[in-house]
């Protein structure tokens, strides 16, 4: 037999899942009793490579640092600094280069740290596999697996590669990470149909899935990128990483400012030349205008404001991989969420028990054995109702799983459904260790799909033995002694549970003679005593319910996208609040088959109204995200499974779970939640909105200064008079005020009601018309005030240096007074609290001290061509500055009065 076979062997013949296990072993050249030889392993590893996914290479640190300069505003600053250096204005040039460098360092450090945090998460887990090689069973690094290896699986193992199962014993595998199906799949060695979809290939085990029950042996059919995970990994590479809304808006603003600044500089140059000024002089004036009009502090403010948001999220158990991601959630209009493990706990829980006498509710969720059995609001003890005690005893005895506590958390070793039965029994006072001591197991019939039940035989301590049986309702009813009316009542109860998305198990028992030592299927073909039904569901996370409600109040649509059954998904969606209680599944739910049959255009229309998408494939998820984006939505995708990864990358922002999330999902996401708490999404939305608000406040605050400075220079050149403010003084104004005043807005607390307004429209510009009007008004006031004060000072015979110092102080103090206006773009400064932002007051104090030094300290006078001014001059400065504050406050007052009379968008501030 050949030792090495090509990767596409299965494609040339029948697919592996359609062949018998022995045929697959022959095809792969391996003896299932001995495994591969050491020589064969070496040769095949050389052919197939390591069993590892091809990870996207990290951007080298140098490139990552250089990428920080790839922004239009930064490019403008670099050009301006370069030209200024050529013209030997070294102080101005060094200041500009310093600002650009500091901004780049901040952005680089944040992104590099986030990337290293994600890499550390990936390295924290080392995966191993049990294989048979040279006839010896050994434990190896899963990366060393190769095609043809014989792998042994047992409960709790993660499947290390794609396997064709050749021997199975009561094996069930949780494939939720790959398919989204929350119920473990029972495996078999029997070949499947050639056209069977992934979830129906019961003879296959796929990499990244988990064995929940039993044992199995399989031969490796694919490793690394050739596995099903590898195919999804390829889709991730093909998914487009989109710009965030913030970067798109800032990009448009930067380009607009670029054209305006270059246009004004050209006009200044042309007018000066026309009036007879020298080329060098006008070139310097044009550079001064450009430097004055460019908001040098904007890149740093953007980076620092986002970094503050990142720090806040880190304290709330989130790792932000890229700075703009925290803001993107603030602009999200749709959140697409996986169900299993994200909206639900991925812990099957019994919620109701039915007997022919009564129906009982079971409280508590998850695997923590805390809760009670209730009827009519009263706590019921199983020991007081014999049939209730027997149904819980049957569920915990006819069971091969274990409930254990690890690191303070209750977990199930085995099948989640069996775990639910154990936990329910504990809540009812039927403690498993005690019942196992009293009723020792003698024999068992494992669950098989053709019979749809499991049975166990136990001692009773009396004159007989008891057989406990659990299984599907149909299989138990076919073997139970019941009246027609009794059967009808059971069918009705089971149908009622199923319509609510609950999984139903029937339980029964049969007394047997003490000599009966082995169980056979014929022993329980008839004569079972029906005990009752236990109905269970993977319960919603309580925090997810609250988070969804908060998102809906904030105007954000939440959609469930899952691989689970349609009815189950719909029932969970109702419990969580994604769909209204009286909605019908046909109106708000859609399955994968219908999605596949739709054109992209039809799907684009359907996603506007449908909120639940069930039985979807990874390809379907990608199409759904793209359809939502085509409708103009900003889409966030949450998930933890491998099947979520392509859509996590395609979405405007992907949010992965840090504890239960797969490595592939984490690497595809923009944000990783280290506590897997869905409620953190709501916190991220709130934080993102606050970050965006503060950025808009900074832009609204800083642009009037740049506009006013550019206007001063332009008017002076046109009028042919001396500049009221020199280029080096413009740099002083821009840099000191941006750092000490503007950046303090990044610490501004979130305004009341921030989560009561709908998300801003995806196409809405950063600056709305009212804000543009305010910027022009304040900029014009700064320009006019400085010009008037400058001319008044000269007319009184004051030196030109003193007159310019007055003009500079008008700009600085105007910005200080206007800063308080910008603490809220809509409300009065008194409404947000005068002292709710302590860093702002510190910045104002430091700015005042610097301006005193600028005005009165001799070496500052020399460096910046300033001069001391009198109290009368200070009166002009304070008067002009306070006028700006009064005018803006009046404008806010009038606009708020108009807003109360007619409803307007909450984004028109």
DSSP secondary structure of 626-692: HHHHHTT--EEEEE-SGGGHHHHHHSSEEEEESSS--HHHHHH-SEEETT--THHHHHHHHHHHHHH
Beta strand pairing call for 465-471 and 503-512? antiparallel
Cβ atoms 817, 882 nearer than 8 A: yes
Q: What are phi and psi of 824, to 5 degrees?
A: -140, 130
Q: Is 670 exposed, middle or buried (0-12, 13-18, 19+ CB in 10 A)?
A: buried
Q: Tell me which residue of 834, 839, 840 sits closest to 816, measured CA to CA.
A: 840
Give exposure, 284-296, as e/b (b: 16+ Cβ within 10 Å). bbbbbbbbbbbbb
- 246 half-sphere exposure, CB direction, 13 A CA radius: 26
Cβ atoms 79, 287 nearer than 8 A: no
Write out the two tokens for 18: 């359609």
- 80 half-sphere exposure, CB direction, 13 A CA radius: 32
Return the ∠ at Cα 253 (arms to 252 and 258), rounded to 5°: 100
Q: Is 176 exposed, middle or buried (0-12, 13-18, 19+ CB in 10 A)?
A: buried
Which of the residues 92, 157, 170, 338 is marked catalytic?
A: 338
CA dihedral 502, 506, 507, 513 (to 10 degrees): -160
Whole-number Å distance between alpha carbons of 537 and 535 = 7
For residue 545, the tally of other CB atoms under 10 A from its CB is 17
Beta strand pairing call for 653-657 and 635-639? parallel
Q: Phi/psi zone of residue 46: left (φ > 0), alpha (ψ -120 to 50 degrees), beta?
A: alpha
Whole-number Å distance between alpha carbons of 580 and 482 = 39
Beta bridge partners of 637: 336, 654
DSSP secondary structure of 745-805: GGGPPPPTTTTSSPPPPTT--SS-HHHHHHHHHHHHHHHHHHHHHHHHHHHTT--HHHHHH
Beta strand pairing call for 162-174 and 185-186? antiparallel
DSSP secondary structure of 45-74: HHHH--SS--PPPPPPHHHHHHHTT-SHHH
Cβ atoms 786, 811 nearer than 8 A: yes
Whole-number Å distance between alpha carbons of 833 and 823 = 10
Write out the two tokens for 824: 């809220």
Cβ atoms 446, 463 nearer than 8 A: no
Q: Phi/psi zone of residue 701: left (φ > 0), alpha (ψ -120 to 50 degrees), beta?
A: alpha
If you ran DSSP here, which 8-state letter would residue 520 be given? -
Cβ atoms 782, 811 nearer than 8 A: yes
Whole-number Å distance between alpha carbons of 504 and 417 = 10
Task: Quickly tell me which residue has 């543009």 as its tokens.
Answer: 772
Whole-number Å distance between alpha carbons of 664 and 643 = 9
144 counts as catalytic: no
Whole-number Å distance between alpha carbons of 144 and 50 = 6
Q: Tell me which residue of 186, 233, 224 sits closest to 205, measured CA to CA.
A: 186
Write out the two tokens for 273: 């030349």
Cβ atoms 432, 403 nearer than 8 A: yes
Collapsing DSSP to helix, strand or coil, 561 comes out as strand
Helix axes 245-274, 72-86, angle to 10 degrees: 30
If you ran DSSP here, which 8-state letter would residue 37 be given? -
Q: Which residues are catalytic?
A: 338
């Amino acid at each position: 037999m050949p030792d090495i076979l090509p990767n596409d062997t299965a494609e040339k013949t029948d697919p592996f899942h359609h062949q018998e296990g022995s045929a697959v072993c022959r095809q792969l050249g391996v003896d299932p009793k001995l495994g591969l030889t050491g020589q064969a392993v070496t040769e095949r590893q050389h052919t197939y490579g390591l069993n590892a996914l091809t990870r996207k290479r990290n951007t080298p640190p140098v490139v990552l640092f250089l990428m920080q300069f790839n922004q239009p505003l930064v490019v403008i600053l670099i050009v301006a600094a370069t030209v200024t250096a050529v013209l030997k204005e070294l102080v101005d040039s060094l200041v500009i280069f310093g600002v650009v460098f500091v901004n780049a360092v901040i952005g680089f450090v944040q992104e590099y740290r986030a990337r290293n945090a994600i890499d550390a998460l990936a390295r924290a887990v080392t995966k191993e596999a049990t294989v048979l090689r040279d006839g010896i069973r050994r434990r190896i690094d899963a990366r060393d697996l190769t095609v043809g290896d014989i792998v042994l699986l047992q409960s709790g193992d993660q499947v290390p590669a794609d396997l064709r199962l050749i021997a199975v014993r009561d094996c069930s595998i949780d494939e939720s990470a790959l398919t989204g199906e929350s119920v473990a799949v029972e495996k078999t060695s029997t070949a499947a149909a050639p056209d069977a979809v992934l979830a129906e290939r019961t003879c296959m085990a796929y990499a990244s899935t988990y064995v929940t029950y039993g044992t199995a042996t399989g031969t490796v059919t694919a490793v690394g990128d050739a596995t099903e995970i590898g195919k999804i990994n390829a889709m991730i590479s093909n998914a487009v990483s989109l710009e965030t809304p913030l970067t798109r808006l800032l990009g448009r603003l930067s380009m607009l400012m670029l054209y305006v600044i270059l246009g004004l500089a050209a006009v200044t140059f042309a007018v000066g030349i026309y009036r007879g000024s020298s080329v060098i002089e006008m070139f310097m004036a044009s550079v001064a205008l450009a430097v004055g009009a460019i908001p040098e502090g904007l890149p740093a403010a953007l980076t620092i404001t986002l970094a503050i948001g990142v720090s806040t999220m880190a304290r709330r158990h989130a790792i932000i991989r890229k700075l703009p991601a925290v803001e993107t959630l603030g602009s999200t209009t749709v959140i697409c969420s996986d169900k299993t493990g994200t909206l639900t706990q991925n812990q099957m829980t019994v919620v109701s028990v039915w007997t022919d006498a009564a129906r009982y509710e079971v409280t508590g969720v998850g695997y923590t054995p805390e809760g009670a059995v209730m009827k009519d609001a009263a706590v019921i003890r199983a020991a007081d109702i014999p049939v209730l005690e027997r149904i819980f005893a049957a569920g915990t005895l006819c069971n091969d799983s274990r409930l254990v506590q690890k690191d303070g958390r209750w977990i199930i070793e085995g099948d989640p459904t069996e775990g639910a039965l154990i936990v329910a029994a504990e809540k009812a006072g039927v403690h498993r260790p005690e019942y196992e001591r009293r009723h020792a197991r003698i024999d068992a019939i494992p669950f098989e799909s053709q019979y749809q039940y499991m049975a166990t035989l136990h001692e009773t301590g009396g004159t007989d033995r008891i057989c406990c049986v659990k299984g599907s309702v149909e299989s138990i009813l076919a073997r139970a002694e019941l009246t027609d009316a009794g059967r009808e009542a059971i069918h009705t109860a089971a149908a009622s549970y199923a319509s609510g998305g609950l999984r139903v198990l029937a339980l029964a028992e049969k007394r047997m003679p003490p000599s009966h030592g082995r169980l056979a299927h014929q022993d329980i073909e008839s004569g079972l005593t029906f005990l009752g039904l236990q109905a269970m569901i993977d319960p919603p996370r309580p925090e997810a319910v609250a988070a969804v409600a908060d998102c809906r109040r904030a105007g954000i649509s939440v959609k469930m996208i899952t691989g689970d059954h349609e009815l189950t998904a719909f029932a969970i969606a109702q419990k969580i609040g994604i769909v209204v209680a009286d909605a019908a599944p046909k109106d708000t739910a859609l399955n994968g088959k219908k999605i596949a049959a739709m054109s992209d255009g039809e799907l684009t229309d359907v996603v506007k109204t449908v909120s639940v998408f069930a039985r979807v494939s990874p390809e379907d998820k990608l199409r759904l995200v793209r359809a939502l984006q085509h409708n103009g939505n900003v889409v966030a995708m949450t998930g933890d499974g491998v099947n979520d990864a392509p859509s996590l990358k395609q979405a405007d922002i992907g949010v992965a779970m840090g504890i239960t999330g797969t490595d592939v999902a984490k690497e595809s996401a923009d944000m990783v939640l280290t506590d897997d708490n869905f409620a953190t999404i709501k916190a991220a939305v709130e934080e993102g909105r606050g970050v965006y608000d503060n950025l808009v406040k900074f832009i609204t605050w800083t642009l009037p200064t740049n506009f006013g400075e550019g206007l001063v220079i332009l008017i002076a050149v046109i009028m042919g008079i001396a500049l009221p403010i020199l280029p080096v003084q413009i740099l002083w104004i821009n840099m000191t005020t941006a750092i000490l005043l503007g950046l303090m807005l990044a610490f501004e607390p979130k305004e009341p009601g921030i989560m009561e307004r709908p998300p801003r429209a995806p196409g809405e510009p950063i600056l709305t018309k009212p804000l543009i009007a305010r910027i022009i008004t304040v900029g014009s006031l700064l320009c006019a005030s400085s010009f008037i004060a400058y001319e008044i000072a000269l007319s009184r015979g004051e030196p030109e240096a003193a007159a310019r110092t007055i003009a500079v102080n008008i700009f600085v103090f105007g910005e200080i007074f206007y800063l308080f206006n910008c603490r809220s773009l809509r409300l009065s400064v008194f409404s947000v609290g005068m002292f709710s932002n302590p860093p702002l007051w510190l910045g104002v104090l430091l700015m005042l001290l610097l301006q005193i030094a600028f005005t009165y300290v001799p070496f500052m006078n020399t460096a910046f061509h300033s001069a001391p001014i009198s109290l009368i001059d200070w009166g002009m400065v304070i008067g002009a500055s306070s006028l700006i504050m009064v005018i803006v406050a009046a404008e806010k007052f009038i606009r708020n009065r108009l807003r109360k009379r007619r409803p307007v968008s909450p984004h028109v501030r």
